[in-house]
Amino acid sequence: MNNVVKSSELSQLFCDFNSVIQSNIVNMLCRKRKKDFTRNRNMNFYSIIYYFIFRNRTTTNADLTHFYSSIDKFERRISKQALNKAIKKLNPNVFTYLINQFVSIYYASSLPKKYRDYLLIAEDGTYMEIPYNVYNINDFQFCMNQHVHDIFDVKKVQSKAGGLYDVTNGLFIDFSLKPAPYSETPLAFAHLYRTKKILKNQKIIYLADRYYGSAEIISHLEFLKYNYVIRGKSNFYKKQVALMQSDDEWIEVEIDDKWLKRFRFSLEAKELRKEKPIFKIRVIKRTYKYTDINHDIHCENLIYFTNLSEEEFSADEVIELYSKRWDIEISYKTMKTTQEIERHISSNGDVARNDIYAKVLFHNIVGVLRKEINHELEKRKTEKKYVVNITQLHVIVHEINFLNCMMYNLKEKIKRKIDNIMKIIDKIKVPVRPNRHYQRWGRVMMSAPSYRFRLDGRNNPKLKKIGSVLMTTFP
C-alpha cells in the first residue's frame, strides 16, 4: 500500500469516526438526564466531546480560546462558568463506547498491521490521580496500608486504570477506570470479554506481566483460542517448574476441585478445566545479568509462560516477543507526561473520568498515525533504526488543526495534512538505541547548573550531594 492510499484510508477512518461522534446514539449516551443536550447550543454534545479529546492547554480559558479559534467560531466562545455547567452533564460512558467504535472502524479497514500474521495485544494496569476532595475519596475509594488506616489519612485520590493495548498498531482496544482497591485481574477479564467480538477471527498473542499468569487467565485465553506470552512469577506452578530438565520445555498442570473453586471471573475457563483438567504450558527460563552503578554484578532468574510452539517461535524469539509488551508502558508514560492526562479541569469525579477517557481516545488517534510513520521508516534500508518522536507528533496534530478537519468532516484536508506529516518524517524522527546512550541518573556533576532549563527546553536533572560530589538523581 503506497502513502497516497494510506493517507486516504486514514482520512476515511477519521471521517467515519466523526460520523459516530455526531450520531444520535452518541447524543443519547452523552446524557445523564433526558433533558441534557436536547438543544443546539454553542457547546453542544459533540463539541464537548471534541473539546475533551483535543484539550491541551494549561488553563481552561486558554483551552476555550484555542478550541473556538480552531473551529473558526471564536465569536461564539462561551465562558468558563458555562463550560463548567456543560461538562458536568456529560456521561463518561460515552467515551467507552467511542473507544470501542474507533477500534471497530480501524480493524474493519485495511490499515491494521500484524507481527508474523498475529496481532500483539498487551494487558497492563496503572493508577491515575484524581482531584482531591471528600466526594472523590468516597467515589474512587482508597487502598489501606501502613500509612492509610481510614479516610482521614488519605492524601491522594487515585483510580485503578487498566487497558488492553494493540502493540502492533498503537491503540488501546479497551480501557477502564475503577476504584483504587480494584484488582487488575477482573479488569483483564472484562477487557477480554468486551473485545471478544472485535478480535473475532484474528490470530492473537496476548502479552502480560507477572500478575496475569494465573491458571484461570491462561484457561480463558485457551478458550478464546488466543496464544500468550506471560512473564511468570516464581511461585506459579513451582512444583512442575522444579521438575524441568532444561530451560525450555512443556509442563503439565492438573486443576483439581480445590483449585477450580478459585476460578471466579470466567465461567468458560471453569467449564473448560472441568472437561480437560490437565493443560500444558511451555516454560522458558533465562538468567539476566547486569552491573549496577557500583560495578556490582547481579543475576536475576526470569521465567516465561507461553503456548507458542517451538517450531514457530524459538525461546529467544518468545523473549523478544515479550519485550514488545513494553510499548504499553511507554503509552502510559506518554499519556501522563506528554498528554498530562492527570491534569483535570474540574474536581467533579465524572469530569475527571471524561478527562482521562478523552486523552486515551486522542492517544489512539495519534497512535495509528505514529505506527504508519514508523512503518514507513522501517521500510528504509538504513544502518540505524528510527522511529517518530511521539511528543513532537502530538504537538503537530494539535497545531495543524486536526480538530477542525475532523469536526467538519473535511476528508481531503485531513488527507493533505497526513501527507504533509509524512513529508517531514526526517524532521521528527529519533534513533532507536538498544541501550541508553548515556547515563542519566547517578552521573557526577562538577557543579550545579545556574539555570533551570537546558537549551532544548527540558528541566535540568535534580542533584543530590553524596559524600563530596554532586550526583544526578531520578526525578
For residue range 129-139, what is the model confidence (pLDDT) as tens digits? 999 999 999 99
Q: In this structure, are 425 and 353 located in the same domain?
A: yes
Q: Is 280 helix (H, G, I), strand (E, B) or coil?
A: strand
CA distance 341 to 353: 10
pLDDT of residue 1: 43
Digit-coded pLDDT (tens) for 351-377? 999 999 999 999 999 999 999 999 888
- Asked if residue 436 belongs to a domain, the reply is no
CA distance 119 to 136: 37
Q: In this structure, are 90 and 158 located in the same domain?
A: no
Q: In this structure, are 258 and 382 located in the same domain?
A: no
Q: In this structure, are 450 and 423 located in the same domain?
A: no
- Asked if residue 219 has pLDDT above 90, the reply is yes
CA distance 346 to 355: 9
- Asked if residue 342 belongs to a domain, the reply is no
Q: In this structure, are 324 and 178 located in the same domain?
A: yes
- Asked if residue 214 belongs to a domain, the reply is yes
- Would you call 170 exposed, middle or buried from its count of C-beta atoms within 10 A (0-12, 13-18, 19+)? buried
Closest C-alpha among 332, 407, 386 to residue 363: 332
Give 473 or 13, the one with higher predicted confidence.
13
Q: In this structure, are 238 and 300 located in the same domain?
A: yes
Q: In this structure, are 176 and 224 located in the same domain?
A: yes
Q: In this structure, are 181 and 245 located in the same domain?
A: yes
Q: How confident is the model at residue 146 (pLDDT cuts 50, 70, 90)?
A: confident
Q: Pick from 331, 363, 384: which residue ends a domain?
A: 331
- Asked if residue 76 belongs to a domain, the reply is yes
Q: In this structure, are 305 and 166 located in the same domain?
A: yes
- Asked if residue 69 belongs to a domain, the reply is yes
Q: Pick from 307, 331, 355: which residue ends a domain?
A: 331
- Asked if residue 437 has pLDDT above 70, the reply is no
> What CATH number is given to the structural domain containing 253?
3.90.350
> What is the CB-side half-sphere exposure of residue 281 using CA atoms within 13 A?
28
- Asked if residue 282 has pLDDT above 50, the reply is yes
Q: Which three cell numbers stand for residue 90?
A: 456529560
Question: Residue 284 is part of which domain span?
Answer: 112-331
Q: How confident is the model at residue 461 (pLDDT cuts 50, 70, 90)?
A: confident
CA distance 372 to 109: 14
- Asked if residue 208 has pLDDT above 50, the reply is yes
- Asked if residue 157 has pLDDT above 90, the reply is yes
Residues comprising the chain, all counted: 475
Residue position matching grid coordinates 549496577: 292
- Asked if residue 140 belongs to a domain, the reply is yes
Note the maximum CA span of the chain. Answer: 75
| 16-31 average pLDDT score | 96
CA distance 423 to 416: 10
Strands of the sheet with 157-166, listed across from one edge: 171-179, 157-166, 119-130, 204-208, 227-231, 297-306, 278-291, 248-254
Q: In this structure, are 206 and 307 located in the same domain?
A: yes
Q: Which three cell numbers stand for residue 354?
A: 471524561
- Asked if residue 341 belongs to a domain, the reply is no
pTM as predicted = 0.89
Digit-coded pLDDT (tens) for 367-416? 999 999 998 888 887 888 889 989 899 999 999 999 999 999 999 999 99
Give 219 or 235, the one with higher predicted confidence.
219
Q: In this structure, are 269 and 293 located in the same domain?
A: yes
Tell me how far CA of residue 240 lies from CA of 215, 233, 245, in angstroms: 13, 13, 11
First to last CA, the chain: 43
> What is the CB-side half-sphere exposure of residue 397 using CA atoms within 13 A?
24
- Asked if residue 435 has pLDDT above 60, the reply is no
396 Cβ contact list (under 8 Å, min separation 6)? 421, 428
CA distance 300 to 238: 17
CA distance 154 to 144: 9
Q: Is 3 helix (H, G, I), strand (E, B) or coil?
A: helix
Q: In this structure, are 318 and 171 located in the same domain?
A: yes
Task: Report how many domains make up the chain.
Answer: 3
pLDDT of residue 436: 47
CA distance 397 to 402: 6
Digit-coded pLDDT (tens) for 56-103? 998 999 999 999 999 999 999 999 999 999 999 999 999 999 999 999
Tell me how far CA of residue 394 lies from CA of 168, 397, 430, in angstroms: 19, 5, 15
